[in-house]
Structure 1
Amino acid sequence: MGQNTTLAIILVVVGSFCYALSASFQHRAIKRKVHRNEEKRPLGFRAFLQTVTSRRWLAGAVLLGISAILQIIALSLAPVSVVQPVGLLAFPWSILIQARLHHQRIRRRVGLAVTLTVGATAAFTVQSALHAVPRSDLNGVRVAIGAAVVYLLTLAFGLLGAHGPKHWRCLLWSSGGAMLYGLEAALVKSLIDFIRKVNWMHSPLLWTILIALALGSLTAGWMIQQGFATGPSEIVVGSTTITSPVIAVTYGIAVLGEGRLLDVPAAVTMVLFAALAVTGVVVLTRLDKSWDERPVLR
């Protein structure tokens, strides 16, 4: 499958909506089990098993699967540094979904923040696409080192999420899971490029990446559910949509060599647009964190 950046971006936009809707379903399912978790305790294994059998949680899982499939297809069509930042749109989608669930009007400040996030993300994506390389520079050693660094960071965030300050636990859990999601996207891109280039059936690198993907997906999913159990879905989606693109783009540029065509003005412009997009997400998080306490439609 050849490069088609426009189609890849469209697929990720649709996937970001599916992810936001999935988060809403799964968060509401988990909150039924931990309605008032004032101590911010992690979700127990028994409660988790009870939650994952509910129709609402399973509906969220289906939507999450659709989002993942769309992202994988997009990664086969464009560089990870182009695809992953578009996922930032999941947070504005989440705000709109929560407003609908709670029968709330979109306030002017919220609308401006959504516009800022969408506009900055679009500008970043266009700039990234204009300077994207057609193929990654795949190196097994760099892939392994990059993955190990992300795993160590994730471990640190998981420990802090379990034992750190209570008011930070939701953010820490979800950010740790988001790091793995960002790594997963980069590893999928590595896998796609690797299969295209070599006789992969007998390659240890291929099976190592597959094992890393499987373990990373399970761990990321678990950490995100802990985020839902210890805080509002807007915080989970917001931290995920910030952290995941940062990890994926950094990995794509530093490990996969996707920044080879970037010059200084383009890089500075991309950093500026990324900062604006992150600012929009932070503003939205501050404006709407109280929605978690409001009654929702059943």
Structure 2
Amino acid sequence: MTALALLLAVAGATCFAAAAVLQHGAITGRVDLRALLARPRWLAGAGLAAGGAGLHALALVLAPVSVVQPVGVLAVPLAVGLGLRSTRPPARVVAGAALCVAGVALVVRTAAAATPDAPADLGRFLLVSGTAAAAAGLALAVLAVRTTARARCVAFAAAGAVAFGLVSALLRAVFLQFGTADAGTLLGATAALPAALHARGWSVQQGFAAGPPAVVVAALTVGDPLVATALGAALLGEAGGLGAAGVGLLLGAGAVAAAGVALLARHHPDAAPRPTPPTPHDRHTPGEVPT
């Protein structure tokens, strides 16, 4: 089952990488949902993203969050290759992608060595994880609107990663406790899923508007497994017996992956701010003083 889950997660990561490149290419300037819905390229990307999410969800049914979630980091080198298919990626971009993959791979290796404990009940999981994710996502969104374009791209993508990490951990929690949780708690969990997915989608599109797809994918696929693994460790009993050394190793792996995201954001050829389309007040003839 674990091998099948990993194959599904790899297929999902491939879908996410292709979706990122397609949707980024369809966004020019500000995000206008009605305009995007009329663009086949964006719709194709949305379809691939939905397919990737379905494959990812199925993988989570078959294996723990800490095993499945980090596989999504494979989308980073795929997005770099697809986004720069006509040119050779700069060495620092390759190094950034490699750091992302290495850091998340170390997270997988460390988390896989843990001994599962009894998970928290679904009601407690929903309350604690939902509150923490909402606070972190809101803080990142506020940071995004108050900073430069390069940092805005990473901050919006990180907010999306928090939301999707919550979705993944919540799906796993519902699967583990479907037969024991009360109906009201299951209903609350079901209602939280579309809300978190909507927050993830909005944040990701804002990230595409501010920077290249490889940077958005890197921030997503690094932040997402770190959030999901942290929730799995703290509330789903997936990190029993790690001890202080194991926790330190997880934090170090997260720092390596974050350094990779920073390298991509700084040195990706398409990381320059995108021009904002002119407004009617901006359009004037040469020599005319706009009013």
Alignment TM-score, normalising by the size of structure 2:
0.83
> Match of 1:39?
none
Pairwise CA distance, 1:109: 4.2
Is the Cα–Cα contact under 8 Å of residues 10 and 74 in structure 2 kept in the other structure?
Answer: yes
Q: Does 1:48 align with 2:33?
A: yes
Code of the aligned partner of 1:146? S
Q: Does 1:57 align with 2:42?
A: yes
Q: Does 1:17 align with 2:2?
A: no
Q: Does 1:99 align with 2:94?
A: no
Match 1:144 to one of 117, 122, 127: 127
SS in 2 for 1:76: helix
Match 2:253 to one of 270, 273, 280: 273
Code of the aligned partner of 1:253? A
User: Superposed, which structure 2 residues align to 1:159-178 within 5 Å?
Assistant: 159-162=142-145, 164-167=146-149, 168-178=151-161
Is the Cα–Cα contact under 8 Å of residues 111 and 238 in structure 2 kept in the other structure?
Answer: no
Give the 3 Å change call, closer, same or farther, for CA 266–188 of structure 1 in structure 2: same
Is the Cα–Cα contact under 8 Å of residues 79 and 133 in structure 1 kept in the other structure?
Answer: no
The CA RMSD measured in Å over matched residues stands at: 2.5
SS in 2 for 1:290: coil
Match 1:210 to one of 181, 190, 195: 190
Q: Does 1:156 align with 2:139?
A: yes
> Match of 1:187?
170
Name whichever of 113-122 and 285-294 sits farther off: 285-294
Pairwise CA distance, 1:221: 0.7
Q: Does 1:224 align with 2:171?
A: no
Code of the aligned partner of 1:95? V
Is the Cα–Cα contact under 8 Å of residues 154 and 179 in structure 1 kept in the other structure?
Answer: yes
Q: 5+ residue gaps in structure 1?
A: 35-41
How far apart in 1 are the matches of 2:270 and 2:37?
Answer: 26
Give the 3 Å change call, closer, same or farther, for CA 133–6 of structure 1 in structure 2: farther
Q: Work out which of the two has the higher radius of gyration on C-alpha atoms and give 1 or 2.
A: 2
Is the Cα–Cα contact under 8 Å of residues 98 and 291 in structure 1 kept in the other structure?
Answer: no
Is the Cα–Cα contact under 8 Å of residues 154 and 265 in structure 2 kept in the other structure?
Answer: no
Alignment TM-score, normalising by the size of structure 1:
0.82
Code of the aligned partner of 1:262? L
Give the 3 Å change call, closer, same or farther, for CA 161–254 of structure 1 in structure 2: same
Q: 5+ residue gaps in structure 2?
A: 275-291
Match 1:234 to one of 199, 211, 214: 214
Higher-helix-fraction structure: 1
How far apart in 1 are the matches of 2:156 and 2:96?
Answer: 25
Deviation digits for residues 219-272 of structure 1, max 9, x if unmatched?
211121122223322332222122212211111111222111323443333333
User: % of aligned pairs identical?
Assistant: 32
